[in-house]
């Protein structure tokens, strides 16, 4: 478990799947997130959750407020310890909680975990070109725009450009108040 000023990031638990089912079937959210890695049927979500328990390449953490409200997920995927890199993904699934700084707070905490605990060298993210809020949020957290992957994603009957960003370990600036990591979870 990682604790920040306003959030707890917990390893996902089985009882969290109900919210994931809602988010996976939220059209606006899946359109913004593009490659939302959540399956849409409950049975498939259960299989996805079971796979997470033994998959060394993916870590999904539930983003919860200190009062327990579950508002989103943040994850490392394609985690490659040999090359020391991973892809970062995030959703604030609950629309009312977007735009309050929770996304950047969770991303900074995950960067801290990735660079200082896992000793990664590079984190990458991919953002649909139309998703200005996600771009701003990642840049606010120090990610550098590498370029645009032309027509790299297909949804709603058309191809979309995707922005690629990354953050390297020597570009990462540790937070003044560092997140605390506990073995509780």
Helix (H, G, I), strand (E, B) or coil at 147: strand
CB of 1 within 8 A of CB of 8? yes
Stretch 25-44 residues interacting with ligand COA (CB under 6 A) = 29, 32-33
122 binds ligand COA (CB under 6 A): no
Closer CB to ligand COA, 176 or 184, in the complex:
176
51 forms bridges with which residues in the sheet? none
Minimal CB distance residue for ligand COA: 103
Nearest of 73, 78, 67 to residue 92 by alpha carbon: 73
CB of 38 to ligand COA, least distance (A): 12
Closer CB to ligand COA, 12 or 127, in the complex:
127
Stretch 131-170 residues interacting with ligand COA (CB under 6 A) = 131-134, 136-137, 140
Burial class of residue 114 in the structure, from the number of CB atoms within 10 Å of its CB (0-12 exposed, 13-18 middle, 19+ buried): buried
127 binds ligand COA (CB under 6 A): yes
CB of 71 to ligand COA, least distance (A): 9
Closer CB to ligand COA, 80 or 132, in the complex:
132
CB of 156 to ligand COA, least distance (A): 15
Nearest of 166, 143, 162, 135 to residue 151 by alpha carbon: 162
Give the HSE-up count for residue 129: Cα atoms under 13 Å, Cβ half-sphere: 13
Cα separation, 127 vs 125, in Å, equals 7
Cα separation, 146 vs 109, in Å, equals 22
> For ligand COA, how many residues bind (rule: CB under 6 A)?
21
Closer CB to ligand COA, 85 or 131, in the complex:
131
CB of 165 to ligand COA, least distance (A): 9
Query: Helical H runs in 42-149?
Result: 42-52, 102-112, 132-140
Site residues for ligand COA per CB under 6 A: 29, 32-33, 90-92, 98-104, 127, 131-134, 136-137, 140
């Amino acid at each position: 478990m990682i604790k920040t000023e306003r959030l707890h990031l917990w390893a996902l638990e089985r009882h969290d799947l109900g919210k994931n089912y809602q988010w996976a079937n939220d059209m606006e959210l899946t359109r913004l997130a593009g490659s939302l890695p959540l399956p849409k049927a409950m049975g498939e979500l259960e299989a996805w959750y079971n796979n997470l328990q033994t998959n060394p390449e993916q870590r999904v953490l539930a983003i919860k407020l200190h009062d327990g409200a579950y508002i989103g997920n943040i994850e490392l995927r394609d985690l490659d310890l040999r090359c020391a890199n991973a892809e970062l993904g995030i959703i604030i699934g609950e629309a009312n909680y977007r735009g309050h700084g929770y996304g950047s707070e969770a991303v900074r905490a995950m960067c801290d975990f990735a660079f200082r605990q896992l000793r990664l060298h590079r984190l990458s993210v991919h953002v649909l070109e139309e998703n200005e809020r996600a771009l701003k949020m990642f840049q606010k957290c120090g990610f550098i725009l590498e370029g645009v992957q032309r027509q790299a994603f297909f949804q709603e009957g058309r191809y979309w450009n995707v922005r690629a960003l990354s953050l390297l370990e020597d570009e990462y600036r540790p937070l003044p108040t560092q997140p605390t990591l506990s073995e509780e979870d």
